[in-house]
């Protein structure tokens, strides 16, 4: 991400259980919001990889449909 100067990168078809965020070895954060339906198995969905500065500016995120998510910075 640093090579291309990208602050936020959307990742489709992610397979992550639950919701939350994790920091990877390069320092970027991966954010994966929960689907609104609690019974929904998170076998498909979206996630975002964010630089440190974008992660600090993150206010909230919301999954609107299976493959659609909004984030507020």
Q: Check residue 36 and give its pLDDT.
A: 56
| pLDDT reported for residue 60 | 81
Task: Dump pLDDT digits (tens) for 13-67.
Answer: 777 766 778 888 988 998 887 655 555 555 567 888 999 899 889 888 777 766 6
In what side-by-side order are the strands of the sheet with 8-12? 8-12, 46-50, 29-32, 20-23
Euclidean distance between CA atoms 28 and 34, whole angstroms:
20
Structure tokens at 36: 């609104």
pLDDT band at 7 (very low <50, low <70, confident <90, very high): very high
């Amino acid at each position: 991400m640093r090579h291309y100067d990208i602050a936020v990168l959307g990742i489709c078809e992610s397979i992550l259980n639950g919701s939350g965020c994790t920091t990877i070895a390069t320092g970027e954060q991966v954010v994966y919001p929960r689907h609104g339906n609690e019974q929904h198995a998170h076998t498909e969905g979206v996630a975002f990889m964010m630089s440190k500065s974008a992660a600090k500016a993150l206010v909230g995120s919301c999954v609107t449909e299976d493959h659609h998510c909004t984030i507020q910075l």
